[in-house]
Structure 1
Amino acid sequence: MRFSDPLHGLTVLERGWLSSNNLLIHPAPGEPGAVLVDTAHVNHAAQTVALVREALHGEPLAHVLNTHLHSDHCGGNASLQRAFGVPVAIPPGLADAVKAWDDAALSYAATGQRMERFEPQALLNPGDAVESGGRSWEVLAAPGHDPHSVMLFDRAHGVLVSADALWEHGFGVVFPEIDGEPGFDDVAMVLERIAALPVRVVIPGHGRPFTDVGAALERSFARIRGFQADPARHARHAVKVLVKYHLMEEREQPLDALLDWAETTPLLRGVWERWPPAGAASPRAWLQAVVADLVNGGALRRDGGVIRDA
């Protein structure tokens, strides 16, 4: 089946940055139902259920797929399972950790993020293909941002579901590097893989779908080269992302409570230990400076002793 519009039969639910986008692949005749790719953050789970229900227009939901298991991409899994009785497929790398609900292996404890436990029923193995919407979606490994992440590619129509491997203006934090493991080379390798594909449109994990793939790749190649040359710059960027993300979860928090959270979050402690900032007397003083930078840049607001998401 060929479509003149590469996005025919696809509904992209573009979400705010706390949540990933959701892609609903509507069923072709003879298919058991729609397939949903990624389920956003647990804070928005009720909204995700409502948006999906509305977008289905009475169609059944047959399956949920997760590109990776960060909290902003699978936080609605449990709610969707309750609402629709739907099975969930995940990449294989952390399947045992999900079944045992190992917070440390799943990164939720290390990053200090919220997540609701869910039960997976299937694996999304690189090299496999998912047949949905009258399309064949190739499952492609996409390590870097997350070592176990995958992308989906409909070669016939040039549609790439890139998750956090490629956005219009960058890519996701390279968490293995923050955790002391290599990841930059994986990011570059995945970008090269995307560049070799006949991509017409990218549906990213965050932000709008886009068609100027060459320009997006050029920006991302420049960004990863900069991080490879200066890993401490990437670490500083990651800390700001994690603090901002935490405030998006909480909406607001007293400064002292925010600093308490940051001081005891393992990933942030690891950045302090690996890349101690010049001139910072203690982790708390450094994190206070990070918060001040985010406030000065407009990413957060300070009202007296309370820090609010902007």
Structure 2
Amino acid sequence: MSALPASIQVFERGWLSSNNVLLLGRDDTALIDTGYLTHAPQTLDLVRHALQGRHLDLVLNTHLHSDHCGGNATLQAHYGSRVAIPVAEADKVRDWDVDALSFKATGPRCERFTFDATVAPGDVLTLGGMAWRALGAPGHDPHSLIFYCPAERLLVSADALWENGFGVIFPELDGESGFAEARATLDVIAGLDVRLVIPGHGRPFSDVEGALARARSRLAYLEADPVRNAQNAIKVLLKFLLLERQRIALTDVPALLLAMPVFEAANARFLKQTPEALATWAVKKLVRSVAARIEGEHLLNH
């Protein structure tokens, strides 16, 4: 794998918290994405250790799913850092509209934070002493941004491109277009000269061509039958809850799914099953893929 510049550190966090990208310039420090609320104390510890007494000037979010911005409030409270968010999310955050933000729809929590600046596609930012261009990356999230550094040929790809896939295409669950936008985002990435990708989840990788091929293949598979995207979303959302709670009573799974508006929308549009039947299906899928296990009357993270 191609090496990162000494001014960049990546905290690879797993699948409950997004990766955090710390950029250390001579005169500026910034953190891209802050993980999930449950892990906010750990995020703060990682940042404090890496900064070695320096101040964190800026927190920057690729998008506002709770696993990417859940540590914002903690870092803001500790450092007084400026926070920059995608421009399209400004009114929602200003009013803390949990119906418009994704937190209520998908279940996971996020502590309220404020913002000082917005970032729009095409903006150029200085992060870690380097120039980065913000690019729109709709698909997984309609307002997501990715960040490209031409001088170092680096891409912070958020959930638009992972080494093996991408994030759930959420707009399609609400009957909005998402597949076409995800494909266009992959085309944008393919047009960049990239030697190393720092994804929102998983390790940094240099085989960009291979990752793009895998992502396009998966996108075609999902688009061929949108029910597949809905089923994948239900599994992912249940796994996310399991990552947070570690242990869920099997009898509680249907109610937990019902509490997420995105589940209701996906089920009404594509799946058309009772919550109990869909909960049974989702549990079996997680157990079969060794992402969970059943112990007595409980579903356990695995």
Give CA deviations for 1:230-282 in whole Å, capped at 9, x if unaligned: 111111111100110111111112111222111232111112211135xx5x2
Distance in 1 separating the partners of 2:207 and 2:3:
16
Distance in 1 separating the partners of 2:111 and 2:4:
34
Identity of aligned residues (%): 48
Q: Tell me which residue corresponds to 1:191.
A: 186
Once the two structures are TM-superposed, the CA of residue 132 in structure 1 deviates from its matched residue by 2.1
Given candidates 277, 280, 284, the residue that maps to 1:288 is: 280
Given candidates 13, 21, 24, the residue that maps to 2:22 is: 24
Q: Is 2:86 the partner of 1:91?
A: yes
Distance in 2 separating the partners of 1:168 and 1:285:
33
Contact 1:269 1:283 in 2 (8 A): no
Q: Tell me which residue corresponds to 1:253.
A: 248
How large is the RMSD of aligned CA atoms in angstroms?
Answer: 1.3
Give CA deviations for 1:156-207 in whole Å, capped at 9, x if unaligned: 1100000000000000001101121100000000100000100010000000
Q: Which amino acid aligns with 1:173?
A: V
Which deviates further from its counterpart, 7-16 or 72-81?
7-16
1:137-216 equivalences under 5 Å are 137-216=132-211
Q: Is 2:116 the partner of 1:118?
A: no
Contact 2:20 2:32 in 1 (8 A): yes
Which deviates further from its counterpart, 218-227 or 250-259?
250-259
Q: Which amino acid aligns with 1:305?
A: E
Normalised TM-score (structure 1): 0.94
Once the two structures are TM-superposed, the CA of residue 5 in structure 1 deviates from its matched residue by 5.3
Once the two structures are TM-superposed, the CA of residue 87 in structure 1 deviates from its matched residue by 1.0
Q: Which amino acid aligns with 2:126?
A: E
Contact 1:97 1:106 in 2 (8 A): yes
Give CA deviations for 1:54-107 in whole Å, capped at 9, x if unaligned: 011222211000000000000000000111111100001111011111111001
Aligned length: 301
Q: Gapped runs of 5+ residues in structure 2?
A: none
Task: Please state whether the residue corresponding to 1:35 is helix, strand or coil.
Answer: strand
Normalised TM-score (structure 2): 0.97
Distance in 2 separating the partners of 1:153 and 1:297:
34
Q: Tell me which residue corresponds to 1:271.
A: 266
